[in-house]
Structure 1
Amino acid sequence: MQWLELHNVEYGECIVLGGSHHDILMVDCGSINQKIREGDLDFSAYVDPTLMERYSGCSGREFLLTHYHRDHLCGLYQMLSKRGGYFDRILLPVSPADARGQHLLLDFALFVYAFLPRQSDYAQVNLSALRIFSRIAKSAGADRVYPIAGGSSFLFDGVTYEVLWPDREGYPFSDLFASAVEQLNVCLASPFLPQVAQRFLELKARYGKAYDACCQSSPLRAEGIAQLDALLEQIDALLPELHLLPTAPDVVQILTDPATTTAYSDELNTASVIFHNRRTSEASLDDILMTGDAAPESFDAIADRLYHDYYIVKAPHHGTASHWSHWLSEIAASHILISNGEYQKGGKIASEYVDLPAVKHCTNRAACPWYASSGCSCNRVACCYDLPTGAGLTIKCPRCRDRKGTAPCGIYVVSHGGERACLCDDLPVQPGL
């Protein structure tokens, strides 16, 4: 990795790693809002043409999705709708299975698919999880789609990256979420219900097995994806009868219960892909830990596989306090990436990040309590070790001082007007500087 660009996509994420041969790996691309608040720019207009044109001349383009939330995903759909072959390879996370081999996230998604209106935001998230293999394959081709999970590895810019989380099997779902899925199955398990209830449960089980088989191929095979689509079509045929079941209102009540919806969203975050580079010798500038929206429990599960230090660590879940892990304070990092925005329903940036002895690169200062109280960037008192003359305050960085040229660290926050230095209270530079 030669450089990194952190895009300001409001309360969303888009991080691009640049290789030495002018190739890129884009990790996530999405926004929770239709408009990016800085300048009130439409997100789709930022994706096309701005974002796509920025990397159109690259020798190779790859994409990695960490999980199925729209603030990480919707930009990928928009890019592929404009140019299906934009990415040479697309790495998609595998939905994990528990100790019994049950894909609880897929189980839950199939219940939502069958019992809730398709136009709801809630259902659209689930449709992404169920339809994404088919949707991406139709745009880009199945031979460009690679499933990844804990234990997977991939190569970029001559460096091997290892997927640390989530485990494909034996995944530890929370008791709350597992209980909700069990309640949904119980609602349809009575032998006194019409046959359509049992038929749905059978198709759901077959979908899980077909999903397992499909994900065994890397890249995916068209016939495996077609089997998943065929099972969904069979479920579609059952919908009118399913909605008439006497227990259908009970299913809907469970699905729409606020505790259940929160548990499902939390599980998607907790199952975010975490990956880092495989070290072949000593620590280097290639050392990077990418975390998606991983939860503290995710870090607990992989703590023994983390390095003691990294050059770059991405703060999970937009740097919010709810996803802060004590392991982040025990890992030495030179630079920390934080994607946050003016939309702050998920929370402000955790104050713990300010106390870390690392240079923070934030896409939006509106979510930062430090900036709100001090009126300046916390990096003004941070020591940067990438300066040409040796360690010193970040305010002495030539990029920060003159807002032109290249940054010694190679890390840029990209605003809608061009590149910015690491000090969040600096004005954006003009394009091309």
Structure 2
Amino acid sequence: MKIRMYNVGCGDCFCIRDRGKSLLVDFGTCNSRINGQPRSEIFDVIISDLTTISHKNLLLTHFHLDHLSGLLYMIKKRRSAYEFGKIYLPDVFSEPEMSHTLALLLLSDLMKNTYLPSKQISLFALVEALCRRPQRIELLCRGKEFEGKYQALWPDKEIIKTEAEEAYEKIMQNHEEAMAALTDFAEGLRQLVWSMTGEEKKHPSFAVIDREFKELRSRGDFQQLLSALEGEKVNLRQFKNKISIVFQNARDGELNLLFTGDVQQEHLKQIAENYDGKYPLHDHYWCIKVPHHGSQTHFFDFAPYTPENMLISNGIYYADRKKQAGAYRTSAQYAGLFYINDAHMYCSDCRCCDGYRNGCTCKECDIIEPLYYKDI
């Protein structure tokens, strides 16, 4: 087994390559250019590499474009290469109550003051793409085993629903009609994705969903809702990270993996504490993919788990936008992880790391840039 870590700029793309079946974990970037090249060229290189794998599935940890834009491109531009047997998504679709969470995710996309701006509404764009090329969908939540070897540690459906409900009710108080219309739309979207799992046969068509979405966005009270949230600087982007899939090997072994997506710091602490007493982390990992580009806001000390390899995907490098870049740069605390005995660091680009200012402090490191990928 090996892990191929692709260089996709500020984004995530990993392929866990096994003899029997391989698993691609995320495929996206928020950059228009990567190392001076149009991102479409980088996507084409990755897609060509993936076509050499006969049996592969895809896991999308969550619905940020820096994790799924490559998939959208693949479906639209390279249809002949689109050969996933199954696509795993975080479970925010299996229960009607989840429409509140989906409403918040849609609001996050539609607000203008969130990080990583884009013309695409990522969740809606994903559903549209999946309708264009129907796929077998499987939903993951805490405790669910998949691929015959992995176990999801997050999201926890009950915790997510509780946290979403608190935010939802606050917005609902002042924007009841607009939120009710958004929730009705989110429920239709939920039913459509749920039907792709084979559990539900009746569902609205995408043409109906598309028309309803245009009507919703044109409503005056809905535009007022967006303006109010933007004026109050309400941070809803976090809800995409709240639902991020975290998984590890279901059974302890020599090649234990821990993939953390963009899981939030407080949720990763809960996972590490085994809050429900059901699914403890392993004592040792062969590879750990750190959350959220290794940023300080999502920093977690993995030293107690004696990782052999640490995977840190690219952050942002903007010389003239220090505030935004700081939120997405790799924390200097990761750059100084030399105290982890024999830990090997794999990073995308030193320029995106706060530890690079005074020289790389990692005991051992492998930088992907300017290559397309690195094998671990």
Whole-angstrom CA distance in 1 between matches of 2:106 and 2:375: 45
1:293 to 2:297 alignment = no
The residue number in structure 1 matching 2:144 is 152
Matched to 1:20, the amino acid is: R
1:204 to 2:183 alignment = yes
Contact 2:4/2:375, CA 8 A, preserved across alignment: no
One of 152, 175, 185 as aligned partner of 1:163: 152
Shift of 1:7: 1.1
Shift of 1:145: 2.5
1:230 to 2:205 alignment = no
Matched to 2:130, the amino acid is: I
Shift of 1:212: 6.0
Whole-angstrom CA distance in 1 between matches of 2:156 and 2:310: 25
1:62 alignment partner, SS class = strand
The residue number in structure 1 matching 2:333 is 352
1:4 alignment partner, SS class = strand
Shift of 1:116: 6.6
The residue number in structure 1 matching 2:87 is 90
Contact 1:413/1:419, CA 8 A, preserved across alignment: no
Whole-angstrom CA distance in 2 between matches of 1:166 and 1:96: 12
Contact 2:105/2:236, CA 8 A, preserved across alignment: no
Deviations 1:360-418 (A, max 9, x none): 111111123444313575317xxxxxxxxxxxxxxxxxxxxxxxxxxxxxxx8755545
Deviations 1:209-231 (A, max 9, x none): 7726853763576743x357635
Shift of 1:420: 5.0
Contact 1:26/1:61, CA 8 A, preserved across alignment: yes
CA RMSD, 1 decimal? 3.4
Contact 1:63/1:89, CA 8 A, preserved across alignment: yes
One of 53, 58, 68 as aligned partner of 1:58: 53
The residue number in structure 1 matching 2:39 is 43
One of 305, 308, 315 as aligned partner of 2:290: 315
Whole-angstrom CA distance in 1 between matches of 2:78 and 2:223: 41
The residue number in structure 1 matching 2:32 is 34
Contact 2:108/2:236, CA 8 A, preserved across alignment: no
Whole-angstrom CA distance in 2 between matches of 1:165 and 1:228: 29
- Between stretches 160-169 and 215-224, larger displacement belongs to 215-224
1:13 to 2:5 alignment = no
1:104 alignment partner, SS class = helix
The residue number in structure 1 matching 2:322 is none
The residue number in structure 2 matching 1:324 is 299
Distance 1:239 1:362, change over 3 A: closer
Percentage identity across paired residues of the two chains: 22
Shift of 1:178: 5.3
Whole-angstrom CA distance in 2 between matches of 1:278 and 1:108: 31
Matched to 2:174, the amino acid is: C
Whole-angstrom CA distance in 2 between matches of 1:81 and 1:220: 27
How many residues in Structure 1 have an aligned counterpart in Structure 2? 355
Deviations 1:141-190 (A, max 9, x none): 24x232222233211xxx4211111122342665xx7555334323343x
Matched to 1:230, the amino acid is: V
Contact 1:14/1:30, CA 8 A, preserved across alignment: yes
Matched to 2:298, the amino acid is: H
Distance 1:216 1:207, change over 3 A: same
Shift of 1:16: 0.9
1:107 to 2:82 alignment = no
Task: In structure 2, list runs of 5 or more residues that go unmatched.
Answer: 318-324
Whole-angstrom CA distance in 2 between matches of 1:76 and 1:88: 14
1:253 alignment partner, SS class = helix
The residue number in structure 1 matching 2:320 is none
Contact 1:25/1:64, CA 8 A, preserved across alignment: yes
The residue number in structure 2 matching 1:259 is 233
Whole-angstrom CA distance in 2 between matches of 1:145 and 1:76: 14
Distance 1:360 1:131, change over 3 A: same
Whole-angstrom CA distance in 1 between matches of 2:190 and 2:166: 22
1:52 alignment partner, SS class = helix
Whole-angstrom CA distance in 1 between matches of 2:144 and 2:306: 25
Q: Tell me the TM-score normalised to structure 1 length.
A: 0.71
Distance 1:16 1:160, change over 3 A: same
Task: In structure 1, list runs of 5 or more residues that go unmatched.
Answer: 190-196, 381-411, 423-433
Q: Tell me the TM-score normalised to structure 2 length.
A: 0.80
Shift of 1:278: 0.7
